[in-house]
């Protein structure tokens, strides 16, 4: 499909989904870096870190689902 063929509301939804996808992927990368303690002997709250990673993964899946839904809808029209 082409962006030129997308209706304006769909285009805005695509942009919003891509922003969420990009931000969540960046955040996931940042959270994963925290699994390595910054210095020897430092502690890592793995329970909190796991929750953050799960939230990032959820946001990525949500954005991907939005994009698939829009793409599928546009192909049918």
Q: For residue range 36-73, list pLDDT tens digits in order.
A: 887 888 888 999 999 999 999 999 999 999 999 988 87
CATH code of the domain containing 48: 1.20.120.330
Range of the domain at 57: 6-75
Does some domain include residue 21?
Answer: yes
For 65, residues 6+ apart whose C-beta sits below 8 A from its C-beta are none
User: Is residue 33 included in any domain, yes or no?
Assistant: yes
Average pLDDT, the chain: 85
Distant-in-sequence, close-in-space partners of 64: CB < 8 Å, separation ≥ 6: 17, 21
């Amino acid at each position: 499909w082409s962006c030129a063929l997308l209706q304006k509301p769909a285009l805005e939804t695509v942009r919003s989904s891509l922003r969420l996808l990009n931000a969540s992927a960046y955040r996931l990368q940042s959270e994963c870096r925290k699994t390595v303690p910054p210095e020897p002997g430092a502690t890592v709250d793995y329970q909190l870190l796991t929750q953050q990673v799960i939230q990032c993964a959820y946001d990525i899946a949500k954005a991907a689902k939005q994009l698939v839904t829009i793409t599928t809808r546009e192909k049918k029209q």
